[in-house]
């Protein structure tokens, strides 16, 4: 007998595992800005590489949709995962940080907490989002960790890019494992 819960869960989660096509941009974030900062890549080459990564991501996104299909979710996203709320919270928290001249970037803390909330949402299917969450929260305290401002920024971008690439690859893994599981149930 089929397990209806398994099929329903799988369908609900399908739409959330959508990051794999972003992998080229995540790799670009890991490499290009830091390479530019340390003089290995000119500003124009950085821009061109970004456009190439964007184009590859667009092609991958179409291929991904054609290969895995599209599911439109029934329930709207929870408030903390809506783009407007995310932007509002991050910008608001950062403004407070600047206004009070705090040594901590509250915008990055807010971003990290939102990633963590997304990680535990929907039964914790995307727990791997904790990787970028940890990077963002750690980045918020970078003034205590790294003295050189430029090196600090490069380190943050490298760490965030790697965490994002990890999320893209893990989304793909979870998607395929879920598919295999549903087929086993069938």
Partner 1 sequence: MSTEPAPPFEQLVSADKIVHEPARLAVLTALSACASADFVFLQRLTGLQSGNLSQHLAKLEQAGLIALSKAFNGKYPQTTVRITDDGRAAVEEHWNRLAAMRKAADSWPR
Residues at the interface with partner 1 (CB under 8 A): 1-2, 4, 7-12, 14-15, 65-74, 179, 182-183, 186
Contact 25/171 with Cβ under 8 angstroms? no
Contact 171/131 with Cβ under 8 angstroms? no
The burial class, CB within 10 Å (0-12 / 13-18 / 19+), for 121 is middle
Closest CB 85 distance from partner 1, rounded Å: 21
Closest CB 121 distance from partner 1, rounded Å: 16
**Cβ atoms < 10 Å from Cβ of 178:** 17
Specify the residue, 70 or 96, whose C-beta has the smaller distance to partner 1: 70
Specify the residue, 47 or 59, whose C-beta has the smaller distance to partner 1: 59
Specify the residue, 8 or 42, whose C-beta has the smaller distance to partner 1: 8
The end-to-end CA distance of the chain, in Å, is 8
Closest CB 71 distance from partner 1, rounded Å: 5
Closest CB 65 distance from partner 1, rounded Å: 8
Specify the residue, 12 or 121, whose C-beta has the smaller distance to partner 1: 12
Specify the residue, 82 or 149, whose C-beta has the smaller distance to partner 1: 82
Largest CA distance in the chain: 61
- Nearest-angstrom CA–CA distance, 66 and 78: 27
Closest CB 1 distance from partner 1, rounded Å: 7
């Amino acid at each position: 007998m089929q397990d209806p819960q398994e099929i329903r869960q799988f369908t609900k989660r399908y739409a959330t595992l959508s990051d794999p096509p972003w992998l080229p941009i995540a790799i670009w974030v890991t490499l290009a800005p830091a390479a530019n900062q340390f003089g290995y890549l000119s500003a124009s080459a950085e821009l061109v590489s970004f456009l190439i990564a964007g184009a590859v991501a667009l092609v991958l996104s179409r291929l991904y949709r054609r290969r895995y299909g599209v599911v439109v979710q029934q329930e709207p996203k929870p408030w903390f995962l809506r783009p407007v709320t995310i932007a509002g919270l991050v910008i608001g928290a950062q403004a407070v940080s600047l206004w009070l001249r705090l040594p901590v970037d509250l915008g990055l803390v807010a971003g990290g907490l939102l990633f963590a909330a997304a990680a535990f949402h929907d039964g914790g299917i995307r727990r791997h989002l904790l990787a970028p969450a940890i990077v963002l929260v750690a980045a918020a305290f970078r003034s205590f960790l790294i003295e050189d401002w430029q090196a600090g920024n490069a380190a943050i971008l490298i760490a965030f890019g790697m965490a994002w690439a990890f999320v893209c690859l893990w989304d793909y893994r979870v998607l395929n494992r879920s598919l295999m599981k549903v087929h086993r149930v069938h």
